[in-house]
Amino acid sequence: MATLRGKTVLITGASSGIGKATAIAFAQEGARILICSRRLAPLEETVRELTASGADSAYAFALDVSDRIAVERTLCNLPTEWRDIDILVNNAGLSRGLNKVYEQDPEDWQEMIDTNVLGLLHVTRAIVPRMVERSVGHVINLGSTAGHMTYANGTVYCASKAAEMAITEGLKLDLMGTPVRVTTVDPGMVETDFSKVRFRGDEEKAAKVYANITPLQPSDVADAIVWVASRPAHVNVHSILITSIDQGNSMVLNRRG
Ligand code: 8X3
């Protein structure tokens, strides 16, 4: 296992769920934590928690990854001691609606593609050149079982995650000959705000998604992310597909009762 102590890790979409759990997991390994999301207040709370629990250092800033200009401006103007990023976790992403694609609001498509596909590209474009220059780096993208198998009423979300897989693979090929590693970590159902966001705050609908199964927890995914990041420098884990024991693929679930 390679040490993560002192490594600088940037995690997008870190206000809750997998992003937040990943920040905590890296901090426990002694990494320096840089977290962003659209909402600053929950990030500042996480920084306080990390600092109180003895984390070496943590810094938070607001960023909407879908805003290309803001990404360029913000990431180029980070405080000097936070500019050299060793590990980028492209976690920011969301789903909107569960509808037939021919009936869905195009605004929902736009938000998903802007965040899950273009947002990931904008942040990658801003960070990876410096990784290449410094001959160090690891990009870990969050994919999904949805990228492996399209499900009904989730066409555009699934398409955005299929795009994430292609981008991860292409980035890896484009980085051949450099020491920069690229990985996709693809979880199935994880108990986070994902479904609440998909259903625009409808908690009852969201709860039904995880009813009578044992879903993954954010910390399960964070464990996988930290594991890939801590492999020796010559080892590149291309992908991890991770589901709960109750999930066979995008569509097959073992619901009890
Ligand atoms: C989340 C997995 O199946 O809810 O990426 O779309 S799923």
If one looks up domain 8-242 in CATH, what number appears? 3.40.50.720
Find the helix or strand (DSSP H, E) in which 74 lies. Answer: helix 68-76
pLDDT band at 143 (very low <50, low <70, confident <90, very high): very high
Give the distance (Å) from ligand 1 centre to CA of residue 238.
Answer: 20
pTM, rounded to two decimals: 0.97
3-state secondary structure of 233: coil
Burial of 5 (0-12, 13-18, 19+ CB in 10 A): exposed
Mutate to test the pocket of ligand 1, among 117, 145, 243, 252 (most ligand atoms within 8 A of CB): 145
**Tokens in use for 196?**
């609440």
Digit-coded pLDDT (tens) for 214-226? 999 999 999 999 9
Interface predicted TM-score (ipTM): 0.92
Q: How many CA atoms lie within 13 A of 55 on its CB side?
A: 24
Q: Which amino acid is at 221?
A: V
Residue 220's H or E segment, with its range, is helix 218-229
Residues 227, 29 contacting (CB under 8 angstroms) = no
DSSP of 141-156? EE--HHHHS--TT-HH
